Amino acid sequence: MMGADAINLLYIVSAMLFVFGLKMLSKAATARKGNLLSAVGMLLAIITALLSDNVIHWPWILVGLAAGTVIGAAAARLVAMTAMPEMVALFNGFGGVASLLVGWSEFQRMVSAGELVSTSWGSLLIIGVTVLIGGVTFTGSLVAWGKLSGTLGSKPVLYGGQRVVNGIILLIVLGALALMAFQLNLIPGLGTYSFFLILGAVSLILGILVVIPIGGGDMPVVISLLNSYSGMAACAAGFVISNNVLIVSGALVGSSGIILTNIMCKAMNRSLSNVLFSGFGAGTPAKKGAGFTGEAKPISAEDAFPILEAASNVLVVPGYGMAVAQAQHAVRELAGLLEENGAEVNFGIHPVAGRMPGHMNVLLAEANVPYEQLREMDDVNPSLDTVDVALVIGANDVVNPAARMDEGSPLYGMPVIEVDRARTVIVFKRSLNPGFAGVDNPLFFGDNTRMLFGDAKASMQALVSEFKG
């Protein structure tokens, strides 16, 4: 076993690796090294924690290590890129329930050792907060996973008096937390342990009730927020067991998640309270083509080829449909052929495109698209009038012109990539159905828009064949 000074030194080294790893994640060129650096920091923290404890049940530690290794390796290898958002949601949930179990374990230890009566209200309050945040994160993440995977409907679940019910649940949570922390036996037959169990059970219910009113179009924001919750739960768990590196790592995850959530809310021109309580997408969608005239104009790959061949400036706007079709490699190949033909090709990335933060960046990086070609929404919008062809691949809500022109649209006010200003827009889509937010898109009926119906990957491959032919 190591001394306290050695343990604290190794914890400091671990925390430094976390910080440097996060810093390196901010750039595509160093992201992989940053991820590896953070993983090394976590491994060092785990080893230090195990060697610093005098009571370690090594057989169970090894069983957990083996099980976690198998599950993690299988998830990394077998989970498709299209399922990455729901996997991230599950990981957030696992982090939350782990913190909940840490808090419960410490509370049970106090009870078994007869230390509960002499424990300060501050220590019990921290345990209660850990259980509360962990429980909300766990069930909230499960609901997010269900919405993202299609197991649950993506539309918000709203009912009369919903905010009143949530308020009552919240009051029960706060009451149970206070009664447990101060060990007040105000209700006959209910002691401190009873209030602790009530707190845990109701926090699980609260997690469900908090997420079900949120529509599918807001899931990227919810994922980043739940990620922040999981970090805060881990930080609280660190205080419970007096583990410095857990406090630091949890604080890093919690604060970075909040920062990302704030960035995404600004990108949608909405407040966090509006995302959480507005029931976005619950209303009746706007009519197709509201405020626009004309009909959708289908086009084939053969007819789209001469338009692209003559283009000197092409903007590709990817969305979740590209992930579903696994079309990123075909997109990269077509972009290369366009560049060989003399065209300038850029990729317009909306902050909330896809179903998790950075979803499109991950997909395009997998296809080896140069990072320099990935441009943010604010960078591409000013020059869209000079774009010859905008290729919209599976994106819907993030290019919807109703966000600028139709005050009756649920999307109104949300900044979008203004592809309708390009000389020609080619939309790769299976049908005219609305996107994940459930809002119809008048872009499909624009005079300069052509709809290339079908599987995005097959359509891209057909265009590649036209160029090669």
Q: Which residues are catalytic?
A: 397
| 414 three-state secondary structure | coil
| 393 three-state secondary structure | strand
Indicate the residue type of 21. G
Q: Give the span between the Cα atoms of 4 and 52, in whole angstroms.
A: 8
Q: Give the span between the Cα atoms of 393 and 330, in whole angstroms.
A: 11
Q: Give the span between the Cα atoms of 434 and 321, in whole angstroms.
A: 12
> 320-334 as b/e, with b when 16 or more CB fall inside 10 Å?
bbbbbbbbbbbbbbb
Q: Are 25 and 357 in contact (CB under 8 A)?
A: no
* Residue in 385, 384, 362, 355 with CA at minimum distance from that of residue 146: 355
Q: Give the span between the Cα atoms of 464 and 330, in whole angstroms.
A: 8
Q: Are 447 and 294 in contact (CB under 8 A)?
A: yes
Q: Give the span between the Cα atoms of 356 and 349, in whole angstroms.
A: 13
Q: Give the span between the Cα atoms of 162 and 166, in whole angstroms.
A: 6
C-alpha triplet 370, 375, 381: angle, nearest 5° = 150
Q: Return the sign of the alpha-carbon dihedral for residues 336, 338, 342, 343.
A: negative
Q: What are the strands, taking DSSP E only, across 96-152?
A: none
Q: Give the span between the Cα atoms of 236 and 125, in whole angstroms.
A: 10
Task: Give the DSSP per-residue string, 271-313.
Answer: -HHHHHHS-TT-SPPPPTTTT--S---B--HHHHHHHHHT-SE
Q: Give the span between the Cα atoms of 357 and 117, in whole angstroms.
A: 45
Beta bridge partners of 449: 425
- H/E segment holding residue 246: helix 244-267
Q: Give the span between the Cα atoms of 200 and 138, in whole angstroms.
A: 11
Indicate the residue type of 14. S
